[in-house]
Amino acid sequence: MRTFRNPILPGFYPDPSAIRVGEDYYLVTSSFEFFPGVPIFHSKDLVNWKQLGHVLDRPSQLNLDSIIPSRGIWAPTLRYHEGVFYMITTYVDNDKEQHNFYVTATDPAGDWSDPVWLEDAPGIDPSLFFDDDGKVYYTGNRVPPEGQDYPKHMDIWLQEIDLESGKLVGPKHSIWQGALKVGHAQEGPHIYKIGGWYYVLIAEGGTGHTHAVTIARSRNVLGPYEGNKANPILTHRHLGRGYPIVNVGHAELVETQHGDWWMFCLASRTCGGYYRNLGRETFLTPVSWENEWPVVNPGKGVVEFESAAPDLPEQKWPQSPARDDFTDGELALVWNFLRTPRGEFWSLSDRPGYLRLQLKPERLSDLANPSFVGRRQQHLSFRAAADMTFDPQAEGEVAGLVLLQNENYHFRYELGLEAGKPALRLIERRNGQEKQLASVPYNSEKVQLKVEARGQDYSFYYRTDERDKWNLLLGGANGTVLSTDLAGGFTGAYMGMYASSQGAESSRYADFDWFSYEELN
């Protein structure tokens, strides 16, 4: 029996939404303050995924200037109808106001349209449903019109939408308020029509430990909807905080071309206690139907690390090399910026074969667009390294590697000046307070930096080039500073390359010859 391993998308890929078009599957996830936004993936077998690009890859589509961490793009839904792909999502601003919009494309790899912003569309987590009679419905959540009975009590509502004019039309309908009164934060609704029933699948319990998936059904798209007496149909909240897969929820149902059903959901892996450095990841689990209700992973009822693979021809994609030598004309799809990139601060052409980062005044601790190019941490134990050429000339000019959770929780492993002399130093920023963990004089403009993490044990190394042995700068740094459980928010850990003049103007730059990332067993 062929099996597969969860998570199918390791690292910070939350809120999965997936569709089937013929024998092809497409999936998108949330991206919050990172640019480009909404990564989109393609699969033939539900298990092996290849990134096609990002849905929101132009500044005209996504302005993340000064956005607070964990705001920005929340919970996209992907749909397809009559040759057109639709991605609908919420942009959450710094005042927690929600702005819902959709974009379209005829090719999921892009280009996608500029946003169509929707008026009078309260709440978050919008979804589209195309009914058999040609009508299209918008579904989201909102504060109940009659008021909230308890904290975070939300209403799932539905309204017809005219996609030609980009407007909601007709009355709003409250269709469900979840399965349990304690199941707060009803959100993430998806509507399906299966066997004469309309089903609304939602998330409840918040996106933390009490996250859950619940479902209701109706013969009429407008309701009334009856909840499944077996709700929640999926949760891990009853398994305790020692269980290795936690906060399971925010799901999507997909039927294969052979009539089998599968559920995508988010969940987190814990490490070194109840710490979730990787954020919320995408998992897959089988579904069967009994009495016209879905049963998730029959006989077990939980998401597992290993399961029987879908009955589809296996389609593996070429793996990206562990080392990026920056020899292509474009950045690989794995790389992101922090907020919308402004200014010409990076280049692959100024020095061919290198990624050049100009020093910007912006710091990593600012709510700004620093000179940072990063990728997700995708494994609990990993090795990352980079080859950098940098010659700091003034106090405050720094460049190096960053391990990032947000502006107040991160490691900076950087080359800069100390008392006028170049030095390598490791700085931990925890709860907004900075502490220099280690420092060593360093008299070359060429340096290779490496970090190895085994669980929450992070060690930092350096050398001049491949002819030298690695020197340990510091071992045993506490990696929990990169967990959402300390830092708060909804994202996962990133790592990457960074250059800053820390408030001053500078014409200096750092050149990165390569960056490598690999899992450690």
CA distances from 44 to 50, 201, 317 (A): 10, 24, 10
What is the end-to-end Cα distance of the chain in Å, rounded?
24
Choose the catalytic residue: 160, 187, 204, 407.
187
Token pair for residue 105? 């494309």
184, two tokens: 């707060």
Question: Nearest to residue 455, comparing CAs of 382, 375, 366?
Answer: 382
Helix then strand then coil, % of the chain, to nearest 5:
0, 50, 50
Dihedral-angle region of residue 99 (phi above 0 means left; psi in -120 to 50 means alpha; beta otherwise): beta
Residue closest to 449 by CA, chosen among 409, 390, 501? 390
The rounded Cα 113 to chain-centroid distance in angstroms is 21
Residues pairing with 174 in the sheet: 157
From 15, 125, 252, 362, active-site residue: 15
What radius of gyration, in Å, describes the C-alpha atoms of the chain? 23
Distances (CA, A) of 491 to 35, 70, 71, 244, 483: 13, 6, 10, 19, 9
Sign of torsion, CA 489 428 501 384?
A: negative
Which residues touch 162 (CB under 8 Å, ≥6 apart)? 136, 168, 169
Could you confirm whether 15 is annotated as catalytic? yes
187 in catalytic set: yes
Is residue 479 within 8 A of residue 406, CB to CB? The reply is: no
Active-site residues, by number, are 15, 187
